[in-house]
Structures are given as structure tokens and as C-alpha cells.
């Protein structure tokens, strides 16, 4: 069962504080990196929700993210809607697509589920890539950002936008943690633990899995709308399956099923990529080595490993006191 432990609360508070401090103190380039971290963190939280807690390892989260981005771009560029309507459309579009994928794939498990989600994701990619309406492989330029001038905030500035994304990442974490502590979240963990028994207890499992996937899609869609606003441009690359693979790496690196870990993983991934790619073009090798080390050392991920070590120390400490 998911527990919002004191350690997790402290960690997420520290990460958010660090994000805000970095956003206020860093230069333009640092703020761009921070924005990337925040968006990737939302996408990673979205994936951890279904993969870490529902046992549904998806390879279509890139597509959900891209659909969110494209829906935002279409709303603002093609339909001339405002940013707020664009965000709503982006979230709704990704939610709907995720629900469809979830409903169709709910009976499959393991590698078949992964392949089915991959196929759905690639279908979305190919569709957008070939679509004249959405600009084909050229993408859609001229995407606007949400207008918050009524609140005295100019999201056109890289600093405000970075902080806006950090705030939404914090909100996404709170929403995901709240959901996981609810009846729905408990049920999701039950399905991961023993799906057949949940069904035998009277749960319409497929409906719950599709709903979980849809909720995850909503968060992925939100991340996509932010990505579109960040670069003010969308291209089919956003939907490509390697994006899904990258998020999965981020989640596993940080700690699958810890919810905090994926946020940490997003920060590490973006900064590692930035630091190492200034030294060598082969930055993937470094990420790969870190991933291999993570998997070989128990597969708990960095944050999962930390929690594991601390709980073991506490257990042995309790024994000494007894």
C-alpha cells in the first residue's frame, strides 16, 4: 500500500524548495533545465501511478504526452482558443486516448500489455506524423503560453514559466498521492498484487484498470500541454516511443512505486544529460550504466534503495533496543 511517509513528505518538500530556489537564482539556461525537470517529473508521476502501483508498465506515455501537447497546440494555433481551454483540451484528449488504450488492453498482462501499449502509442505517432492537418513531420509552430496576466504573472518570462511548472509538478504529486491513499488507490495496489483474486472478490477489474490508465493519461496530458507551451512548438517526436522509454528509465532510476523517486529521477536524468553531454556525445552510455547499476543492486531505484536502507537500519535499531 502507498504510504505518504515523513521521509517522502520531507523529500518532496526539499525537492520543491530546491526547484523554487533554483528557479529564482539560476540564469536563463538553468531555468530552462528546471522547466524540463518539472515537466518530466509530472510525466514520470503519471507513469509511476499505473506502472508502479497498478502493475501496468506502459510504453505509450510518450504518445499520451504528445497528444496533450498536440491538443494544446491545435486549440491555440488552429482553433484560436485561449491557453486555459487548450490545457483542458490537452488533458481531455490524453485522458480519452488513455482510457481507450486501458479499456482495450485491460485483459493483457506483462509483455503483451507492454507491446499493446507500444502499438497504440506508435499508431498515434504515425497518425500525427502523416497528418497534414497537424503539420505532419514539420509539427506546429506558434504555440502560445497560458495568459496569467490577470494574476500579475507573465508566463512569457522563463522564470515565471519554470516556477509555474514546478508548482504544477507539486500539485501533480499531491493529486497522485491523494489518489493512492483513497479507496481507488488501495484497489489499484490490490489489482497489482493479485488481479484474479480482486475479480473473485467482486471487482470489475477491467473497468478499474481502464480508469487508472485514464487518470494517468490526464497527468501525462498535462505534462504535454506544458511541453508545448515551453518550446512553443510541437512536433511528432513528442509522441515517439523513445519518449515513453525515457520516462520508464526515469521512473526505474528514481524508484518504481515510490512516487517521490520518479521526481528525483527526473531531476537526475535532466541534469545528468546536461552535464555529461557537455563532456561527451555518448551521454546515453552514462545513463545506461547508472540504470544497470540500479537494476543490479536490487531494482529498487535510487529512492527505493534509500528507503530500503533506512527501514533496515530502523528495524535493526528496534531490535537492539528490544
Eight-state DSSP code of residue 189:
H
Q: Phi/psi of residue 141, each to 5°?
A: -90, 175
Closest to another protein by CB, 204 or 298: 204
Q: Taking the complex as a whole, how short is the minimal distance between the CB of residue 246 and another protein, in angstroms? A: 28
DSSP 17-82: HHHHHHHHHS-HHHHHHHHHHHHHHHHHHHHHHHHTTT----S-HHHHHHHHHHHHHIIIIIS---
Place of cell 485514464: 214
Closest to another protein by CB, 149 or 316: 316
**Which CA distances in Å does 143 have to 68, 159, 167, 169, 238?**
13, 18, 21, 21, 15
Closest to another protein by CB, 197 or 282: 197
Closest to another protein by CB, 156 or 204: 204
Q: Taking the complex as a whole, how short is the minimal distance between the CB of residue 311 and another protein, in angstroms? A: 12
**Which CA distances in Å does 211 have to 63, 190, 214, 238?**
18, 15, 5, 24
Q: Taking the complex as a whole, how short is the minimal distance between the CB of residue 49 and another protein, in angstroms? A: 12
Half-sphere exposure of 114 toward its Cβ, with a 13 Å CA cutoff? Answer: 8
Closest to another protein by CB, 36 or 195: 195
Closest to another protein by CB, 127 or 184: 184
Q: Taking the complex as a whole, how short is the minimal distance between the CB of residue 185 and another protein, in angstroms? A: 8
CA dihedral 18, 20, 21, 25 (to 10 degrees): 130
Closest to another protein by CB, 95 or 159: 95
Q: Taking the complex as a whole, how short is the minimal distance between the CB of residue 304 and another protein, in angstroms? A: 14
Q: Taking the complex as a whole, how short is the minimal distance between the CB of residue 141 and another protein, in angstroms? A: 38
Q: Taking the complex as a whole, how short is the minimal distance between the CB of residue 200 and another protein, in angstroms? A: 6
Residues near another protein (CB under 8 A): 1, 179, 181-184, 186-187, 189-190, 193-194, 196-205, 208, 211
Amino acid at each position: 500500500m502507498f504510504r505518504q511517509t515523513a521521509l517522502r513528505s520531507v523529500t518532496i518538500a526539499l525537492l520543491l524548495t530546491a526547484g523554487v530556489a533554483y528557479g529564482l537564482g539560476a540564469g536563463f539556461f538553468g531555468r530552462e533545465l528546471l522547466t524540463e525537470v518539472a515537466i518530466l517529473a509530472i510525466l514520470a508521476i503519471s507513469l509511476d501511478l499505473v506502472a508502479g502501483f497498478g502493475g501496468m508498465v506502459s510504453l505509450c506515455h510518450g504518445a499520451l504526452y504528445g497528444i496533450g501537447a498536440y491538443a494544446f497546440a491545435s486549440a491555440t494555433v488552429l482553433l484560436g482558443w485561449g491557453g486555459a481551454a487548450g490545457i483542458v483540451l490537452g488533458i481531455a484528449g490524453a485522458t480519452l486516448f488513455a482510457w481507450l488504450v486501458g479499456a482495450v488492453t485491460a485483459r493483457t498482462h506483462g509483455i503483451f500489455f507492454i507491446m499493446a501499449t507500444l502499438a497504440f502509442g506508435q499508431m498515434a505517432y504515425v497518425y500525427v506524423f502523416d497528418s497534414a492537418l497537424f503539420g505532419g513531420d514539420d509539427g506546429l509552430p506558434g504555440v502560445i503560453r497560458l495568459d496569467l496576466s490577470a494574476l500579475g504573472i507573465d508566463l512569457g518570462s522563463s522564470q515565471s514559466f519554470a516556477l509555474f511548472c514546478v508548482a504544477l509538478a507539486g500539485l501533480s504529486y499531491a493529486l497522485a498521492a491523494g489518489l493512492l491513499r483513497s479507496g481507488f488507490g488501495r484497489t489499484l495496489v490490490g489489482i497489482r498484487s493479485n488481479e484474479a483474486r480482486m475479480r473473485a472478490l467482486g471487482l470489475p477489474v477491467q473497468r478499474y484498470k481502464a480508469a487508472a490508465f485514464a487518470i494517468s493519461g490526464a497527468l501525462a496530458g498535462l505534462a504535454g500541454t506544458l511541453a508545448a507551451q515551453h518550446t512553443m512548438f510541437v512536433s511528432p517526436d513528442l509522441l515517439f516511443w523513445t519518449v515513453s522509454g525515457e520516462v520508464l528509465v526515469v521512473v526505474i532510476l528514481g524508484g518504481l512505486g515510490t512516487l517521490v523517486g520518479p521526481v528525483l529521477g527526473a531531476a537526475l536524468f535532466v541534469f545528468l544529460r546536461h552535464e555529461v553531454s557537455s563532456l561527451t556525445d555518448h551521454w546515453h552510455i552514462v545513463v545506461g550504466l547508472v540504470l544497470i547499476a540500479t537494476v543490479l543492486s536490487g531494482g529498487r531505484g535510487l529512492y527505493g534503495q534509500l528507503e530500503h536502507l533506512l527501514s533496515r537500519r530502523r528495524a535493526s535499531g528496534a531490535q537492539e533496543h528490544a
